[in-house]
Structure 1
Amino acid sequence: MPEEKEVTISDIAQFLKISTATISRALRDSYEISVPIKTLIAQTAKQMGYRSNSSASTLRTGKINLLGILVGNMMEKDNYEVLSAIETITTENGYALLVKQSLGSRKKEIENANYLLRKVAGLIMLDTCYTGKSLHLDQFIKRKVPVVFINQQESPSQCSSVSINFKQATFDAVAHLADQGSTHIAAAFSSKSKAVFNACVEGYKDALLYHHLPYNHNLILNSKFGANEGHILAENLLSQPQIPDGIFIPDDITAIHFMRTMIQHGIKVPLDIAIVGLGNNQLSSMIQPKLSSIGFKNSQIGTHAAGILMSSLKNKPEYPEHSLDFQGHELMIRCSSYRL
């Protein structure tokens, strides 16, 4: 009796008269495809007996060829670029991706993790709610599912991680401000992550020491970040007897609104105060003056993280890999800080 032919994406595309690319995106639950089209394709695939390549391969070989990604918001530019790079590497290695986003909800993240637990061979955590203790992640570790964190300063010792060196990024920003003639330099850090906060403070202190500038703890400011926070930060500094002549704000949106408020009060940028942000948001190069910013090399970050996961799945190392700053950032110097 001849073996029954597997239904492919091409078969579904031919039946519905829709491109194979659209079918593929819909079956991956891509945000690019509308809900009605996704529903139509999913129902048709089920009726035709379609199984994804990873599912079919698992049945044939016993090997799980599906990888999970827990992400805060896949639509954010940085996250999207990281995800695209990850997909390139995992596809080349024969793995499909199942991406679940939490949109900042810890409850949703736990639900997503539980959903992925018995479905994936490996897991990547990107922009997540993880804060150091999560029972749902412990289940992956117990099952010996390799886990890679991206840009998460706090992660279990049993998991691999790829992190931006926030200490070096802060050093680069503050040193640049000093190079441009600033001597009374402030910095606004978020205390959301203690590890990131401490790393930024260390980088700030090292840059001042390198340029023989005095350290004043009053110039380290606590900010929650966001548009309104930028305005509040500016108003608070304007009420001080002496405003800084340079400031590093590691969040571009906060930095942009800080700069706008300063300009509205007659403060000249960068003559009176030079400003550096972080994130290289697309608005940074569109506003006037253009905002200097520390930018992340997102494609390199995603490629590196995916490479670590592929290696973990292939070699099953005894100890996880922790990569700190692999040329993962660069300073984009623009008008908001350039004086010389």
Structure 2
Amino acid sequence: MRILIADDDPDFRGLASRAMRREFEGAAITEIGDRAGLDAALAAPQGPDLLISDLSLNWIDGFSIFDEVRRAWPGCVAIMFTGTGDEEVAVRAIKAGFDDYVVKSPKQLRRLAAAARAALTRVETRRGLEENRDLLTQELYHRLHNNLQLVVGLIAFTARSIDEPVARRRLDDLGRRVQSLSLLQERLYRGGDFRRVDFPAFLGQLTEDLIALDGRGVATRRTLEPRMLPVDIAVPLALIANELITNALKHAVAGAEPLVIGVAFRSEADGAPVLEVADNGSGQQNSEAGSGLGGRLVQRLAQQIGGVVEVGSKDGGGRICRITVRNLARPG
């Protein structure tokens, strides 16, 4: 247990130190009475578990000490122990992130010790719950990945047993859609952040997988800017990317030049994510995203995320499809 006590009154520092030693036997306590003492504490290799700070010191205020300590050690528990504040200061302290507020006086030392013990217990309980939640989330994601892979396998097995070409092709398309979700989910699991995903990394892997499945050795040109996306945007955009790349491979026919599929992901000046899929071949060159199931799926998914769909001919031949997510005006 490491404790920092910041107060410009050496008598109260000593009283608070004795109260903490009685409450936390063997605690390493550092008393801070000036700027040099604070700087030395901030430079220590190990951070404190508990900060007790006065409000008004003759060289700094308690809120500034709190900010500096929390920047260095975000998990440090903090209690304001002051006799110069009022109810407004107490409310401000709690809103700022202090775990408790205790009115300073010799009679309140027991209250200070109890408040410190309670605050530390709350933090430990919260950390334990968060760790258990993370472990449970990881297990759920792992099982989801396995279940998605099972579904992909069942779809492939069923498709192989069907002789009718159109039905088999539709099942193959469904399998690729589920596989793209499985790939995205794997990125979430490996990244450890279940709220955001490294979308360009996912997009690069998806492109490689789809090109490999195509089997023609199609060349790709990828321009993928680093960007984390929230899951509720990444999932629909992942399905859109799957449809656009698959559609490009399906309908683009190589001409005099070898077929090249271009995949780009970037951010506009206002932070809006932009996904582009282009090809240099000939084939389906209409101004819509496609009239089939895939095209309708792209339009529906784009609507879900406020995406604007633009499809047209590319300079030099071929087609380009651009999805701009307009409802996400800040970087993810």
Give the TM-score normalised by the residue count of structure 1: 0.28
Give the TM-score normalised by the residue count of structure 2: 0.29
Larger RCO, structures 1/2 (Cα 8 Å, 6+ apart): 1
